Amino acid sequence: MPRQALPATDPDGNRYPSALTSRRLRIAMIGQKGLPATFGGIEHHVENIGRRLADRGHDVTVYCRASYAPLPGATYLGMRASSAPTVGTKHLDAIVHSATSTMKAMAAGVDVVHYHGIGPAFVAPIPRMFSSAKVVLTVHGLDHQRAKWNPAAKALLGTAHWMSGRVPDRLVVVSEELGRHYREEFGKDAAYICNGVTTSGSAGPDAVRRFGLEPGRYALFVGRLVPEKRPDLLIRAFRRIDGDLRLAVVGDSSFSDDYSKALRALAAPDPRIVFTGFAYGDTLGALYEQARLFVQPSALEGLPLTLLEAVSHNAPVLVSDLPAHLEVIGGGSARHRIVPVDDEEALAEELRRMLTDSAPLDHLSRAVRASVIERYSWDRAVEELETVYLDALTGAAGAAPRAA
């Protein structure tokens, strides 16, 4: 496909050099686990922006971990898929892979090294000091606050967090709340480029029945089984509710095997609770569409793709009152409801209401869904990201098209 035109001017109207805007950019994506995207919000983010950058004529290389999925071939959806070695343990996997991927990207002579997540900021000084590549870092969440890490790992990620506000040529955040964090913590303006939402197809009612679920008769949780997403809180709240409706827990461990086992032990006395493992594509679409409601009781989020997907599939949703959730659903509606973080009693009470109410599709509910579909656009995200790349390559002042 011929390369689409890059922006001719920055957001302030200053012209970029024509020698830069007339050529394709060589971009390395580092920090994601791999392609094709299965589980993981960062992986879906990279796949969606990477394929669109490739469609616009750029040379995009995505560095992959063998532990995530077999390489899909030399190219996938227009992107180059390249493996880089790592050490497949909980505490070394990400940082080692980021380092080896960085070395390969520098050897390839890329224009932009685009890191995803706070952890890779630990190696971000390497391309800044030893190559001509510009460093862009997208913060998807405050990873150093996640409960699954031991004190040593939290200290390392804390250092990476400190570096994330100081090292990159350009910083990108996926939510307004993360933008506020970087302004208050580092006095740094970040480019606010939110995630997009892609409504997948649906495999239909039979896809949920194979998990022992009946359409319209289950609550749904989707995500990695990690403490900060609070599936344990949801299980305890659900067990307080009488009736024959079910709870489907869609997801699995993410270097959190002990926690995952504890969740299954917690749920074992209640046969209404079903663990499906990870689900993707049309099967996941069917789980959203056929659910009585989607529940996300997290205590920490960046900007959750699962919530965007649930709303776009028109599922009623119940979420904790995190700023990231409120960015998506605002003050809520009849079908989009909010409870305080870590309040088991409030969660159980609202679950009881939503499992028995019809959750009507009122005017405000329609407006919330329409706003999500219009606002969270991958195509617009890629156009704004191109401007970030050009700003980094030219040294132009300013955070991005939208400062968070």
Kindly report the three-state secondary structure assignment for every residue of 120-140. Answer: HHHCCHHHHHHCCCEEEEEEC
DSSP 144: G
The vertex-281 CA angle with 36 and 98, nearest 5°, equals 25
Q: What is the pLDDT of residue 134?
A: 97
- Domain limits of the chain? 18-196+377-394, 205-375
pLDDT digits over 283-322, tens only? 999 999 999 999 999 999 989 999 999 999 999 999 999 9
Q: What is the pLDDT of residue 201?
A: 67
How far apart CA 137 and CA 120 sit, in angstroms, is 8
Do 18-196+377-394 and 205-375 have matching folds?
yes
CATH class of domain segment(s) 18-196+377-394: alpha beta
| pLDDT tier at 325, thresholds 50, 70, 90 | very high
Q: What is the pLDDT of residue 216?
A: 94
pTM of the model: 0.88
Q: What is the pLDDT of residue 358?
A: 66
- Residue 204 vs residue 3, higher pLDDT: 204
pLDDT digits over 333-391, tens only? 888 999 999 999 999 999 999 998 866 667 778 888 899 999 999 999 999 999 999 99
Q: What is the mean pLDDT of residues 128-139?
A: 97
How far apart CA 253 and CA 336 sit, in angstroms, is 28
How far apart CA 402 and CA 399 sit, in angstroms, is 7
Q: What is the pLDDT of residue 59?
A: 97
CATH class of domain segment(s) 205-375: alpha beta
Q: What is the mean pLDDT of residues 278-285?
A: 91
